[in-house]
DNA sequence: TGTGATGTTGAATG
DNA sequence: GCATTCAACATCAC
């Protein structure tokens, strides 16, 4: 589920439920998603510990332990937290659960196992090793424009590249292109300064609003929600074009032809 | 039954 | 070396 706004919601949930609570037991049902540690070591490392704070960058959520180490939660496509007391509430695809001493548990649910959990002794080192870009809501306009310089890749590919910019995923990238009326396949270096700035502004605006709503995949949908226009064949605003579906930057992409202009290198 | 899904990565390609 | 693309990962729902 998660792109930046959703991971932000996970962070709020994690902070509210799981900070400053001693972990009495750790149960690992499947350690496939643990990338640099096996299930037994994970249990050993976390038992008796307490999370003291958390930090989000892009789609990555880091939980800081009272020994100074961090646990990285990356949710992949289907990762989710569930905090519960009754065993009956255990999610179907829970991969591990932290049992706090207050009787509640934080379960990590993940059907597709694309999530990844890492135990980190040096968070900064990890971030620099993977080359994770600046958070999409933290990066300045200047730095954003600098990242764009000379880039031939599509605007969609640019927005999705977590090394350049962390947090934008497939749906929000489409939404940003839609709102700026830029065809997602437009090469970045074909955009003029005005469009580049518009992309930055739309990105900030959309992510901020999404964080406020924090509910796109749960609650009932309404007309002004994002992504509702992503329906093949739907007519564009003002009748200028039709919604197309195409693979761009390796991901299924929706856009309105005509309405969203394809910029090209002259 | 086949296909694709909110993500990342490592191999392959140019 | 760099930029970019693509298959692979695992499971479920339509």
State pLDDT tens for residues A11-21.
Answer: 999 999 999 99
Note the pTM of the prediction, 2 decimals: 0.94
What is the pLDDT at residue A223? Answer: 53
Who touches strand C, with Cβ under 7 Å? A 32, 92-93, 111-114, 151-154, 157, 247, 249-250
How distant is C1' of B12 from CA of A251, in Å? 19
Residue bearing tokens 């519960």: A84
Residue A117: pLDDT over 80: yes
Each residue's pLDDT tens digit, A41-50: 999 999 999 9
Range(s) within chain A of domains with CATH label 1.10.8.50: 134-256
Stated as kind and residue range, the H or E segment containing A180 is: helix A170-180
CB A133 within 8 A of CB A162: yes
Q: Is A134-256 CATH 3.30.70.20? A: no
Range(s) within chain A of domains with CATH label 3.20.190.10: 4-130
Percent of chain A with pLDDT strictly greater than 70: 96
Q: Is the CB of A11 under 7 A from strand B?
A: no
d(CA A119, CA A228): 38
Residue A211: pLDDT over 60: yes
Q: Name the residue closest to C9, CA to C1'.
A: A114
**Strand B bases, protein C-beta under 7 A:** 4-9
* Class of domain A4-130 (CATH, top level): alpha beta
Q: Which residues contact A116 (CB under 8 A, 6 or more apart)?
A: A33, A34, A35, A72, A74, A76
d(CA A151, CA A154): 8
d(CA A25, CA A220): 37
**Strand C bases, protein C-beta under 7 A:** 3-7, 9-12
Residue A217: pLDDT over 50: no
What is the pLDDT at residue A218? Answer: 46
């Amino acid at each position: 589920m998660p792109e930046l706004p959703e991971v932000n919601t996970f962070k709020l949930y994690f902070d509210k439920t799981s900070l400053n609570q001693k972990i009495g037991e750790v149960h690992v049902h499947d350690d496939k998603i643990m990338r640099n540690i096996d299930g037994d070591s994970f249990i050993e490392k976390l038992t008796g510990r307490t999370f003291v704070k958390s930090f989000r960058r892009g789609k990555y959520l880091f939980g800081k332990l009272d020994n100074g180490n961090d646990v990285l939660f990356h949710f992949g496509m289907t990762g989710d937290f569930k905090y519960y007391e009754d065993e009956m509430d255990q999610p179907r695809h829970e991969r591990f659960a932290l049992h706090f001493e207050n009787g509640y548990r934080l379960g990590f649910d993940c059907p597709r196992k694309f999530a990844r959990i890492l135990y980190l002794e040096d968070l900064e080192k990890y971030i620099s090793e993977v080359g994770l870009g600046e958070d999409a809501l933290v990066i300045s306009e200047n730095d954003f424009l600098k990242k764009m310089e000379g880039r031939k890749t599509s605007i969609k590919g640019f927005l999705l590249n977590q090394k350049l910019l962390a947090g934008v995923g497939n749906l929000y990238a489409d939404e940003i292109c839609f709102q700026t009326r830029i065809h997602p396949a437009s090469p970045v270096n074909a955009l003029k300064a005005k469009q580049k700035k518009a992309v930055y502004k739309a990105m900030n605006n959309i992510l901020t609003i999404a964080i406020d709503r924090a509910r796109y995949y749960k609650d009932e949908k309404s007309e002004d929600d994002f992504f509702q226009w992503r329906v093949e064949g739907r007519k564009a605003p003002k009748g200028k074009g039709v919604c197309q579906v195409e693979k761009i930057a390796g991901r299924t992409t929706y856009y309105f032809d005509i309405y969203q202009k394809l910029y090209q290198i002259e």
